[in-house]
Amino acid sequence: MLDLDGVVYVGPAAVPGAAQNLSRARTLGLRLAFITNNASREASVVAQHLTELGIPAAADEVVTSAQAAARLLVDRWGQGAAVVCLGGPGLAAALGEAGLIPVAVDAEAVAVASGYGPDVRWAEITRVAIRIRDGLPWVASNTDATFPTPDGLAPGHGVLVTMLSSFTGVQPLVAGKPERPLLDETVRRTGGRRPLMVGDRLDTDIAGAHRAGMASLLVLTGVTGLPELVAARPDERPTYLAPDLAGLVEAHAAPVRATPGRAGSTAGWAAGGWSARVDDGRLVLDPTAPDAAVDDWWRAAAAAAWEHLDASGDVVDISDLDVPDPTPPAR
């Protein structure tokens, strides 16, 4: 189950090597699903975009937070129920696809569904806020505070959710990551038996996998760097770690205990050709083989840093480290 932005593409371009690595994964028998918290686009539009980037995808391989929100509504009120739609065309399409009837903000309805929509008007927000305050149940597609644009980060649907919650005193039922409905809906649609969540964000992708009780792979082609990685809480730590999507088709060196360093250091960890330890609060890494791989530097670093954080409550000092680029040219 692949997150999109920061994993498969960054902005308008595919992540280097993504098309080749996903093709290899399919050849090896992995079934792929592309999932997104973005509720504004229909699954068919997302699939077309991926195909244009050289990553063939069908609409039924894409699952959006809007579709997961629609599932929550159908499970509670059944098909044929009228639902206020506060969002873009992707949300309206998902409601209709699920057998619900999307209606305007003043119409009779059993609930309101909200998602990002660039053309949502203030008058619509005001009316929905009043109806939620007065008791209309509310399902939100996601709570992402930002989303990427060519001009940098822009306010996401989470900003609207915060505003509505502040006014109404109501917290919505949320479909998107890190909540589990989107992941559960993806498993339901694909029939996956050993799901693996692949993402670049600790607080949504990896935390969502923990909540859904599934394994996860963190790739370093998106927003997570070493400062975020070493500070990850237990419920944000991935099962696997790789620089990019080659991690789907390559063996991973599992970190193992290494010989302790000098007095004052913790027992270290080793992965592949690297060992890592914490000396007086500082993270230290040393190569143990001439051909030590960058992938294993990051795995050893994470293992040592997390052990120190759990034992002391302190995030390791990484200011002295020469941090290798985790994403060299496409593999």
As a whole number of angstroms, the distance between CA 326 and CA 225 comes to: 9
Q: For this structure, is 286 an active site residue?
A: no
Whole-number Cα distances in Å, 225 to 63, 89, 272, 284: 27, 34, 20, 17
Q: For this structure, is 3 an active site residue?
A: yes
CB proximity list for 3: less than 8 A, separation 6 or greater: 35, 36, 177, 197, 198, 199, 200, 201, 204, 205
Token pair for 195: 């799901």
Selection from 164, 85, 166 nearest residue 119 by Cα: 85
Q: What value does the CA radius of gyration of the chain take, rounded to a whole number of Å? A: 22
- Catalogue the E-assigned strands of the chain: 9-10, 13-14, 34-36, 62-64, 82-86, 101-103, 111-114, 138-140, 146-149, 152-155, 173-174, 196-199, 215-219, 240-242, 256-257, 269-271, 274-279, 282-287
Which sequence positions are flagged as catalytic?
Answer: 3, 5
